[in-house]
Structure 1
Amino acid sequence: MAISTYKIFLMKKATAGETYEKVIDIKDFPDLGGAPEMLETTTLSDKMQTYIPGIQSLDALEFTANYTKADFTKLKALEGKEESYAVWFGGEETGGVLTPTGSDGKFEFKGQLSAFPVGGGVNEVVDMTVTIAPSTPITVAE
């Protein structure tokens, strides 16, 4: 069964302990993986190129969020530090409060975050881009 992008969260491991907390509300999230590099194995006897998979490619992870001074300040305080991050799929709504659960998947990685406001035009919401440079492979948590 398919799931919706509703209830997807950018999470960070709390400073003390093993629990995760929501970083900020996000408007989109990047691919959480990439195709492996293709290593050519073609010989002069082959009539078509052949390959084996190499190292998996992964770009910087870019998220979009609404700009608020409070959220931007919170993100700037995280810059230059390697932290444990995750993207959680799934949450639970109780009494009008939405709580991340990761019930549909948790994708964890370490990395360094940076943030900047993006340009805008007439009658638009001011956004910011949150970029995380991953320093470990993305793993699926159980």
Structure 2
Amino acid sequence: MDFAGLLSKGTVLTYKDGATTKTVAAVKSIPALGSDPEKVDVTHLGSEKKAYIKGIEDVDNFEFAIVYQGDNFRDVHALVETGKSVAWTITYPDGLKAEFTGEPYYKFDGAEVNQAIGFNLGIVVSDGPDITPAPAPGE
């Protein structure tokens, strides 16, 4: 049975730390996932019009907006300090998953009067994202 849509509430970002899966706390936004493939020109002298084929995809860095809560930043900071690429998973409320591998970095937002302090967790993607649809009802 189809439904009208899916609310983002309950979407979770996790990463693997050895055998342990850890959740990144207070994520405010998830970036758009995927990428546009390069356009490869295959036009030749006999062509009537320009012709193209799909080329290699170049995934942009992913940036997640996060509300600073102290502990969540310490966790991200420790992860960044390792200098290692890790496995990440975004899980949506209905079970849809996006899995990718990448090396994290962070940068703080500017600060203004009466504003929550935040930072961006960035990930240089080295593999993925691989999208797995949510299981069908009853599966």
Question: Would you say the 8 A contact 1:108–1:138 is kept in 2?
Answer: yes
What is the CA distance between 1:122 and its match in structure 2?
2.1
Match of 1:45 in 2: 46
Q: Percent of aligned pairs with the same residue?
A: 27
Question: Would you say the 8 A contact 1:72–1:115 is kept in 2?
Answer: no
Corresponding residue to 1:115 among 99, 106, 114: 106
Question: Aligned with 1:107: secondary structure?
Answer: strand
Match of 1:140 in 2: 131
Cα distance between partner residues in 2 of 1:24 and 1:111: 18
Whichever residue aligns with residue 130 of structure 2, its letter is T
State how many pairs are aligned. Answer: 128
What is the CA distance between 1:111 and its match in structure 2?
1.0
Match of 2:66 in 1: 65
Match of 2:95 in 1: 104
Cα shift readout 1:31-90 (whole Å, capped 9, x = no counterpart)? 210110010111233333211001112111100011122211110100112111111111
Query: What TM-score results when the alignment is normalised by the length of structure 2?
Result: 0.82
Stretches of structure 1 lacking an aligned partner (at least 5 in a row): 91-102
Query: What TM-score results when the alignment is normalised by the length of structure 1?
Result: 0.81
Cα distance between partner residues in 2 of 1:122 and 1:43: 60
Whichever residue aligns with residue 90 of structure 2, its letter is V
Cα distance between partner residues in 1 of 2:31 and 2:119: 14
Q: CA RMSD in A?
A: 1.7
Cα distance between partner residues in 1 of 2:51 and 2:116: 48
Whichever residue aligns with residue 84 of structure 2, its letter is K
Match of 2:13 in 1: 10
Whichever residue aligns with residue 52 of structure 1, its letter is I
What is the CA distance between 1:141 and its match in structure 2?
4.1
Stretches of structure 2 lacking an aligned partner (at least 5 in a row): 134-139
